[in-house]
Structure 1
Amino acid sequence: MKHDYAEVFSENVKFLIDLLGEPEEGELNYTGGRRALSRLEALRELKRLEDEGIITPPKKHGFVNVHVHTSESFSVFRSPAEAVWEAYRAGLEIFGINDHYTIAGHREFGEACKILGLRAVFSIEAIAMSEEARVRGERYNDPKNPGRIYLCGKGVIRDLEPGSPGYRLLKTMREALRKRYEKMTEKANEVLKSIDSSLNLTFDDVLRCTPRGNVTERHVAQAIAVLLRRRFPSLHDLRNFLQKLFGEVKIDLSSDEALQDLIRNELLKAGGPAYVEEPAEAFPSLENLVSMFREYGAIPTYPVLGNPITEREADLNSLFDELEGYGIFAIEVIPKRNTEDRLREILRAAEKRGFPVFNGTEHNTKSPQPLVDEFSRKPEFLRTFKRGAYLILGHQFLSKHAGVGYVDPAGNLTFKDRELGASFFSFLGRIIFPDDVLDWFRGIGEENTLKIALALYHILGDKGCCWRVKPGFRLPSDLLDAIKIVDWKGLQVKVEDPFEEKLKETVEAFFQEEI
């Protein structure tokens, strides 16, 4: 992204910040040349400079945003590391990657969050189709396309197993979309050549706009814009060409975003000369997409559009009934799309239903936007969004280390008591474990990890505060054996005498409360 450097940085710091968005060797958009540092190395150097007082640390506001796209799909952010740096400087506490059709950015994103001390949420997004709604002309959360349903898998903990149903489904979707964009590129090239025969657009040009080939329609528009700027460096000549192509052009051609939007809307969208109909194979049934997200170990989540109010979102209770039938028990909002009253209505309906609510900003265009919108700053809404973000963190932790998630493998809520389940997972998400303790959890097995999680909830309770655990936290085997699960789905645990006091003392010694 373009940096306006509202903060005063030295040239060396600016150089490091710019490195965060530069392609690296092995990525399709890498243009060659020797890098001084990798993106993560540049991030570590920036953190070192901050620790030494050369860069002023950002104010910590405790904001959350668990839905942001990166360069791995399409975004203003040129890399996951750049996105994390911007979130850190904006004072976020919890930050989430949410790319379309890929988790390729998760590793870099997680490492970047670790370097800067952000809590990382890992997610993925794809689009399903309700044939029944399409035929009836009824819209869900895509305001322009009846039947289409954007869906997220929040809290991804693993990749898909090669050959699994989810793996095959994702491959089918991506291959269908790629064929569409290849055909779209061919048609666009024919249109461009009809006006200027020296122009030549190939699909390789489009691929070079991505790090790993996860192409979107926006990448096709971007590749065309790059080609046209190279051919017509003069804005006057560029405008003349575009007017031959589209008629009168009134946009600011110095803006890359405006140029790409013009190309996309006039050339690539329905009715445009390079439009290619989207293949049915790209849009699986809701059942199959939900199942794929469960293979990722994620929480299937419906992003409520909110505004405009569509046919299927007009009655939120009816919508939530339908979602539950598919095993979807969580929703997400992009607050800036909504009015305050509509956002409040959505959150109240979700609270009544016992659905956690997650928030984000998307950032799936080239337009720089704040990572925290005005509604996500308001205490009234922030409380709900933070609880939702902590719930995902708790789900990620317990799924990885105890094999227990917010939703079970069959697609049911793990805890029938929804408030109890939300309280438990949000509580776990508020605990910050150091690496050595997480390694210890991996070594003691799932049953013992679950026992400890239940015992911690029993001792500390869900006070709404965070807990930072000191390195070295361990429980000896006799203390572990003394923890007995009475009814884990009721969060009931018993610690045999005389070990309960010893357990409390150990927890008090290693758990530091943070406001």
Structure 2
Amino acid sequence: MNHLEGRCDLHTHTRASDGMQSPAENVRLAYEKGLSAVAITDHDTVAGIPEALEEGERCGVAVVPGVEISTRAGGQDIHVLGYYVNYQDEAFLKRLADLRNTREERNGKMIAKLQEMGVNITLDEVIAGLGRELKADESVGRPHMADVLVNKGYAQDMRDAFNRYLGEDAPAYVTVPRISPEEACEWIREAGGTPVLAHPGIYADDDLVREILEQAKPAGIEVFHSDHGKAEEERYQAMADEYGLMVTAGSDYHGARQGVVFHGDIGSRSVPVSVLAQLKRCAEAD
């Protein structure tokens, strides 16, 4: 028996946002790893879900339709995952389109900052680097900028590009107005889904995490994530118990750039498929 049978990875990205693989390829990778289920959770878009569902039917992997919504709280970018959203809901799709417009505004301002720093890079180059036409419901992210920075010799690899230019504490980073985690949770619920706070350890501010849990009231928390060590897992497991939250896990797989998988490989973080029933029940209850 494959050691991942009966397990699910609830956080993966595709080319619909800033991943490297198509939605179908993510599902096939999940199948090859022996996973029983995988979630497609692209940034501010649900464009990859239909293709993933079709491939899941073909190869026998349950696909969880999801999204990762960009929000802002406590001076930080906070991400909220949504599971079993109605990815055809017109009101939800309009809201996601507005978020992608905000992302485009940020991208333009970051490119301008890079140019002011003497970094010769354009948004056209970033889009061209995709190697395909950017669809209306897809989005460009910082990893795409990082690819160009590496290819042009301004950074050694993805992590170096973020540390030197693109990360929240780096000189080219730009903050734009975003919705709150509370609004994101409301949007997800209104679209028939279940909201979960993504990778709390990345925020390095447990007081803020508690504030978000108390105000936004997500149904779950991503305890197991590729950037969480054992101490973070234990801490957020205890927090989940304290607040009565579902515990989820995700690799946050984006594919490999410059030979390095970012953040982790599909299946590297997983929970039992029984969690899916909890996520569905919560969505139906709302």
Choose which of 100, 104, 111 in structure 2 pairs with 1:178. 104
Q: What residue in structure 1 maps to residue 240 of structure 2?
A: 350
Q: What residue in structure 1 maps to residue 188 of structure 2?
A: 293
3-state SS of 1:122 partner: strand
1:117 equivalent to 2:83? Answer: no
Distance in 2 (alpha carbons) for counterparts of 1:174 and 1:267: 21
TM-score (norm 1): 0.47
Distance in 2 (alpha carbons) for counterparts of 1:209 and 1:290: 33
Q: How many pairs were matched up?
A: 275
User: Mean alpha-carbon deviation: is it higher for 364-373 or for 295-304?
Assistant: 364-373
Distance in 2 (alpha carbons) for counterparts of 1:300 and 1:205: 35
Choose which of 145, 160, 173 in structure 2 pairs with 1:220. 145
Alignment of 1:57-136 (within 5 A): 61-75=5-19, 77-130=20-73, 133-134=74-75
Choose which of 379, 384, 405 in structure 1 pairs with 2:283. 405
Over alpha carbons, which structure has the higher Rg? Answer: 1
1:299-341: per-residue Cα shift (whole Å, max 9, x none)?
A: 1111252477523268xxxx2x853543422222334433435
Q: What residue in structure 2 maps to residue 323 of structure 1?
A: 213
3-state SS of 1:109 partner: helix
Distance in 1 (alpha carbons) for counterparts of 2:98 and 2:104: 10
Fraction of identical pairs, as percent: 23
Higher normalized strand content (fraction of residues) = 2
Choose which of 168, 176, 188 in structure 2 pairs with 1:279. 176
1:206 equivalent to 2:126? Answer: yes
Alignment of 1:156-167 (within 5 A): 156-161=85-90, 164=91, 166-167=92-93
Distance in 1 (alpha carbons) for counterparts of 2:79 and 2:86: 20
1:152 equivalent to 2:47? Answer: no
Where in structure 2 are there 5+ consecutive unaligned residues? none
Distance in 1 (alpha carbons) for counterparts of 2:230 and 2:163: 30
Whether contact under 8 Å (2:84, 2:192) holds in the other structure is yes
User: Mean alpha-carbon deviation: is it higher for 263-272 or for 107-116?
Assistant: 263-272
Pairwise CA distance, 1:278: 1.9
3-state SS of 1:104 partner: coil
Where in structure 1 are there 5+ consecutive unaligned residues? 1-56, 135-144, 194-200, 229-237, 243-248, 252-257, 377-381, 396-403, 409-515
What is the one-letter code of the residue matched to 1:116?
Answer: C
Pairwise CA distance, 1:168: 4.9
Alignment of 1:19-30 (within 5 A): none
Higher normalized helix content (fraction of residues) = 1
Distance in 2 (alpha carbons) for counterparts of 1:289 and 1:119: 25
TM-score (norm 2): 0.80
